[in-house]
Amino acid sequence: MRQWLKRFGPGLLVAAAFIGPGTVTTASVAGAGTGYALLWALVFSIFATIVLQEMSARLGIVARLGLGEALRTTFDNRLLTALAILLVITAIGFGTAAFETGNITGAALGLTTIVGLPTQVWALIVGVCAFALLATGRYKLIERVLVALVLTMSVVFIVTALMVRPDIGALVAGLFAPSVPAGAWLTVIALVGTTVVTYNVFLHSAAVQDKWSADEPTGRALGESRMDTIASILLGGLITLAIMVTAAAAFFGRDINIEDAGQMAQQLEPLLGPAAQWFFAIGLFAAGMTSAVTAPLAAAYATTGALGWPADLRSTRFRLVWAIIIIVGTTFALFGHSPVQAILVAQAANGVLLPLIALFLLIVMNRSDLLGAHRNGPVGNVLAAIVLLVATGLGGYTLLGVFGLVNG
């Protein structure tokens, strides 16, 4: 078992990053409000994530570069290169700082439900723990902690889903018969946006270099990486599926309005007993903690790579980037402020960023000078183009929603 688990790592970091409090809340709201109808959107999200993350991992293993570093040498036009780098730094940096508040608050809410201390106390503890873990500068330790938290989430949410006894027929129909209930388009976009996380592309291409050294045979490293990527993202998708199924089975059609994951934990208690609240709270804590670590880590990889700084966990500049993200997120969470305007701007930025990052990645993955025989083939380009087109459409719709031009 231990030997089998050793093959995994970077992919589970990706899963840890996208299964955060935002995902738990979005999946809870989607299940409670639309039942099983939007499970197909989760299927597409997982497909898109696998396509993008496989390319990202291949870039890191073959070229020994992160996407930020590769962008510096991709465009002949210096102005275009500078704009691309500026966009990456601004959107990734600002976005992760804005959402780090939600990550820390989500973990704190889980702990408050279990222990009962004020959320602000737990927010400070979670922020300090995330800071301390990254301050070790030890990739292996960070990886092991996150793997343990992801496995904890898996057990918690899957067991909870089984306890509510879902309608299997409706579940299968939701997975394979796409439909969008009235007013649910923004929920579809939220499900995709909370799963296909743009900063994961930067995190993954850097993390695989720590997992598989340049001395490893490329073919073997790519094979192990693909297995890690696909299995880990499918596991992350299964966790999200379990949360949606739990909410659908427990609350759909019962006029119970679920607005956040903490409320869902409380609402489950009458159905499943006191243990349900503990179970869900533990899962919420694990989700918040994993994202509280991976978001600043991804921001550091993206920023240092784009600026040409050493992407080394022990370097001062690298530490400075993730430290700023954690400090900002902890400060907002500690004083109980919800950076609503910052998150709205971050959503707008991410609406633009996802298709652009997908486009940048697709361009880089067709560079024969970097990847040689391992560059994208026709099938890879078609799959990436599908993801790019859908991301562009959803990104445009997100922007219209943020500026109040559409209503779901």
Token pair recorded at residue 55: 């390319």
Measured CA to CA in angstroms, residue 360 lies from 30, 39, 88 at distances of 31, 29, 11
The pLDDT of residue 221 is 93
User: E strands of 109-196, at which residues?
Assistant: none
Q: Which residues contact 184 (CB under 8 A, 6 or more apart)?
A: 33, 34, 37, 38, 408
**pLDDT tens by residue, 46-89:** 999 999 999 999 999 999 998 888 888 888 788 888 888 887 78
Amino acid in the structure at residue 309: W
Contact in structure between 393 and 351 (CB atoms under 8 Å) = no
What pLDDT does residue 86 have?
84
346 occurs within a structural domain: yes
- Reported for 150-155, long-range contacts at CB under 8 A and 24+ positions apart, including other chains, are 150/12, 150/15, 150/16, 150/19, 150/232, 150/235, 150/236, 150/286, 150/290, 152/282, 152/283, 152/286, 153/19, 153/239, 153/283, 153/286, 153/287, 153/290, 154/235, 154/238, 154/239
Residue 407 has pLDDT above 70, yes or no: no
pLDDT on residue 312: 85
d(CA 360, CA 382): 15
Does residue 164 register a pLDDT over 80?
yes
272: DSSP letter: H
Residue 159, pLDDT > 90, answer no
Report how many helices (DSSP H) and strands (DSSP E) the chain contains, helices first. Answer: 18, 0
- In terms of average pLDDT, the best of 90-94, 164-168, 327-331 is 327-331
User: Residue 408 domain-assigned?
Assistant: no
pLDDT grade, residue 132 (50/70/90)?
A: very high
Give the pLDDT confidence of 189-224 residue by residue, as tens digits. Answer: 878 878 888 888 988 998 999 889 889 999 999 999
| Residue 348 resides in a domain | yes
216 falls within a domain = yes
What value does the mean pLDDT take over residues 284-291?
A: 88
Work out how many domains the chain is built from and give that number.
1
Residues near 110 by beta carbon (within 8 Å), at least 6 away in sequence:
262, 265, 281, 282, 283, 284, 285, 286, 287, 288
The CA distance from 161 to 148, in Å, is 20
**Looking at the domain assignment, is residue 34 inside a domain?**
yes
Whole-number pLDDT of residue 127: 94
Q: Exposed, middle or buried, 254 (CB in 10 Å: 0-12/13-18/19+)?
A: exposed
pLDDT digits (tens, 9 = 90+) for 3-47: 555 667 889 889 988 888 878 888 888 898 899 999 999 999 999
pLDDT at 89: 82
| Mutual angle of helices 10-18 and 218-251, in 10-degree steps | 30
Neighbouring CB atoms inside 10 A of 114's CB total: 16
Residue 405, token pair as written in the block: 């031009």
Distance CA 348, CA 399 (A): 5
Q: Is the pLDDT of residue 349 over 70?
A: no
**By percentage, how much of the chain surpasses pLDDT 90?**
34
Q: Which of 323, 316, 313, 317 is nearest to 304 (CA)?
A: 317
Residue with tokens 């018969």: 177
Q: Which residue in 154, 201, 208 sits closest to 8, CA to CA? A: 208
User: How high is the pLDDT of residue 224?
Assistant: 93
**Which residue has better confidence, 185 or 352?**
185
Residues 6+ apart with CB under 8 A from 155: none
Which residue range forms the structural domain that includes residue 212?
2-402
pLDDT tens, position by position, 217-262: 999 999 999 999 999 999 999 999 999 999 898 888 777 777 666 6
Determine the average pLDDT of the residues in 261-273: 70
Among 133-137, 291-295, 339-343, name the one with the lowest average pLDDT: 339-343
**156, part of any domain:** yes
pTM tops 0.85: yes
- CATH number, residue 356: 1.20.1740.10
Structural domain contains residue 280? yes
pLDDT at residue 79, rounded to an integer: 86
In a domain, 258, yes or no: yes
Residue 1 has pLDDT above 70, yes or no: no
Amino acid at 149: L
